Amino acid sequence: MNLTITNLFKIPEIRNKILITLGLLLVYRIGFFIPLPGVNFDAALEQMRNLGGVGKLLGMMNVLTGGSLQSATIFSLGVMPYISASIIFSLLSKAVPALEKIAKEGQSGQRKINQYTRLATVGICIVQSSFVIFGSLGAGKDLLHVGVKDWFGLYCVVVIVALTAGTMFIMWLGEQITEHGVGNGISLIIMAGIVSNLYPSMGLYFEQGMDRSAWQSLLLFMGAWGVAVVAVVYMTKAQRRIPIQNAKHTRGKAVYGGERSFLPFKLNQANVMPIIFGSALLMIPAILGTAIGSTWMEQAFGGQRGFWFVLSFTGLIYFFAFFWTSMMFQPNEIAKNLQESGSFVPGIRPGRQTAEFLEHTMVRITLAGATFLALVAVLPSLFGSSGGGSMDSVLIYFMSGTSILIVVGVALDMVEKINALLVMRNYEGTMEAGNEKADTGSGWGRRSS
């Protein structure tokens, strides 16, 4: 591992990519310390700590989107509007024939979809900015300066513009990381938001003192966290490989093809999307209960250990796991492509029976993946302290199963990209060395002749 890390910084191209990525991520984090105009930043930070159950749900959304909905900074929305727009157009490109046709046009079609996504992001930013204005800023009496309250209408316009510009700037940072850095800029931004909460969350836990029971609780949780990391890595890399027999082609005396390949299906096909959808929907009854003064709704859906919260969250994860997979996975199209290329699944007739077999296989895989996601999302919150203290904050802000799922997935993908750069670099070096030897050999042959 030391040799690999050393090699990364010895190669100028990879070193520059890593440094550019770290620099842009630093710029991203600085934005969370720039308050919105007219806001008392210290009072906003104090309010963040006293939002109760709704604050915990907002903290979960922050983990999923890299934002900070409770605070009053220019980056409060994070990349949540862009993620929402991306999800919407991912679903629409499968359900709307016109968008599906555009998506199949290759790079030009993808550029059009990306442009539509950016325009939708601006609209979603305007809508979600109201949650910050009337939610976070409206929840505290001393958050706004005195002069601002006299021009509240104009101030709302200024805040909407600032929050929208902040989200668009984060999108630009993500695109620069993807183009000039190590890749997957938006995913790395979300990962940076999760990791950045480690220090304040652990600091909050240690502030209350560490007696024997606290150390036992910490060690027990760290052990459960280690097991969760291993399980997430295993499930992230797990695949169901369906054997595919390729057809033989005879040209003269030569026979081509006929080899056996595999069609890989990821066990967790939907990734973290069901958790994002489920947690977003569960915020509605919690916020609604707070708004109308319903103590039952606030307690039932604001906490993360309540019976109704766990039952609703689990049901939503199963529903969205099957919904997302059904939208993204097209067995009829796969079966048609296999039939047209002359390939088939051994023991299964091409065409309709192949499509039914693939659909049945995907249903079973999705059931296992949804069960894994439900356990990852629900179980860690049950390990927290019964009093809902600081250990819960650690679970929500960093060490929750959802955070592990995101961090591990992004880290594995980043390692694969860096390894690909190393392999490409070594391949190019091998080719250059081979060309030098060939040139030397041809020169020696010419000299000897």
The CATH number given to whatever domain includes residue 95 is 1.10.3370.10
Q: Which of 149, 177, 196 is the last residue before a domain boundary?
A: 196
Residues 299, 403 within the same domain = yes
Residues 41, 187 within the same domain = yes
Q: Which of 164, 107, 110 is nearest to 133 (CA)?
A: 164
- Residue 161: inside a domain: yes
Please, which residues bridge with residue 254 across strands? 251
User: pLDDT category, 72, cuts 50, 70, 90?
Assistant: confident
Residues 179, 70 within the same domain = yes
Residues 142, 255 within the same domain = no
* First CA to last CA distance, the chain: 49
Residues 136, 242 within the same domain = no
For strands 248-251 and 254-257, give the pairing. Answer: antiparallel
358-362 LR contacts (CB < 8 Å, sep 24+): 358/242, 358/331, 358/334, 359/331, 361/240, 361/242, 361/265, 362/265, 362/269, 362/325, 362/329, 362/331
- Residue 9: inside a domain: no
C-beta of residue 98 within 8 angstroms of C-beta of residue 162? no
**pLDDT tens-digit profile of 368-403?**
999 988 888 877 666 554 444 445 555 555 556 677
Is 60 exceeded by the pLDDT of residue 440? Answer: no
Residues 280, 376 within the same domain = yes
Please, which residues bridge with residue 256 across strands? 249
Residues 86, 189 within the same domain = yes
- Residue 7: inside a domain: no
Residues 297, 398 within the same domain = yes
Q: Which stretch of 160-169, 347-356, 420-429 has the lowest confidence by average pLDDT?
A: 420-429
| Domain count along the chain | 2
Please, which residues bridge with residue 257 across strands? 248
Residues 115, 54 within the same domain = yes
Residues 191, 48 within the same domain = yes
- What is the residue whose two structure tokens read 């990519």? 17
What's this model's pTM, rounded to 2 decimal places? 0.74
Mean pLDDT of 292-310: 73
Range of the domain at 360: 232-384+391-417
343: three-class secondary structure by DSSP: coil
Q: What pLDDT shows up at residue 70?
A: 59
